[in-house]
Amino acid sequence: MPDFLSTVPLFKSLDAAELVKFGEMVREKAYPKGSVILFEDDPGDSLFVVRSGRVKVVLVAEDGREVILGILGVGEHFGELSLIDDQPRSAHVIAMEESTLLVLRRDDFRRRVEASPAVAWSLLIELSRRLRRADEKIGSLVLLDVPGRIARMLLDAANEGGSPLIEKPLTHQTIAHVIGASRETVSRAMREFQDQGWITTEHRRIRIANRAALEQRSQQRL
Domain residue extents for the chain = 2-128, 144-217
Comparing 119-128, 148-157, 172-181, which segment has the lowest mean pLDDT? 119-128
Radius of gyration in angstroms for the set of CA atoms belonging to the chain, rounded to a whole number: 19
pTM of the model: 0.70
Closest CA to 144 of 181, 190, 197, 182: 181
Q: State how beta strands 99-105 and 46-52 pair.
A: antiparallel
In the prediction, which pLDDT does 143 show?
80
More confident residue, 111 or 64: 111
Q: Determine the Cα–Cα distance for residues 201 and 64; give it in Å rounded to an integer.
A: 30
Architecture (CATH level 2) of domain 144-217: Orthogonal Bundle (1.10)
- The 10 Å Cβ neighbour count of residue 124 is 10
**Cβ(104)–Cβ(25) under 8 Å?**
yes
Closest CA to 166 of 115, 203, 219, 126: 203
In the prediction, which pLDDT does 124 show?
82
Same fold, 2-128 and 144-217: no
Q: Which fold has domain 2-128?
A: Jelly Rolls (2.60.120)
Q: Determine the Cα–Cα distance for residues 210 and 151; give it in Å rounded to an integer.
A: 11
**Cβ(170)–Cβ(157) under 8 Å?**
yes
pLDDT, tens digit, for every residue of 76-133? 888 877 777 777 787 899 999 999 999 988 888 888 888 878 778 877 887 888 788 7
CA angle 178, 180, 183 (to 5 degrees): 85
| Percentage of the residues of the chain whose pLDDT score is greater than 70 | 99
In the prediction, which pLDDT does 222 show?
59
In the prediction, which pLDDT does 70 show?
85
In the prediction, which pLDDT does 68 show?
85
First vs last Cα of the chain: how many Å apart?
47
pLDDT at 166 over 70: yes
In the prediction, which pLDDT does 149 show?
92
Length of the chain: 222
In the prediction, which pLDDT does 195 show?
95
